[in-house]
Amino acid sequence: MTAPGPAARELDLTGVPCPLNWVRTRLALEAMRPGEELVVRLDPGEPRESVPRSAAEEGHLVERAGERVRVVRR
């Protein structure tokens, strides 16, 4: 995973349960322009599986690295 650029936004969703973590991620992405990056910190288990999957299903570019997920808005 490449380091986020200066325009990347970060969202710490550790401790936030599903599906609220995806709702917050989606709202953040909707407020961004295409090509902007969002780095999301997530708890292990379902959050790290479902949030990246949901983002990819909406057409965003997704990269995973440990507790962080990098999403580039489509």
Domain ranges of the chain: 9-72
Task: Return d(Cα 20, Cα 68) in angstroms, integer.
Answer: 17
Topology annotation, domain 9-72: Translation Initiation Factor IF3 (3.30.110)
- Inform me whether the pLDDT recorded for 21 exceeds 70: yes
pLDDT digits (tens, 9 = 90+) for 28-56: 999 999 999 999 999 999 999 999 999 99
Work out the average pLDDT over 19-26. Answer: 98
Residue 8: band (very low, low, confident or very high) from pLDDT cuts 50, 70, 90 = confident
What does the H/E/C string look like for the chain? CCCCCCCCEEEECCCCCCCHHHHHHHHHHHCCCCCCEEEEECCCCHHHHHHHHHHHHCCCEEEEECCEEEEECC
**With contact defined as beta carbons under 8 Å apart, do 72 and 36 qualify?**
yes
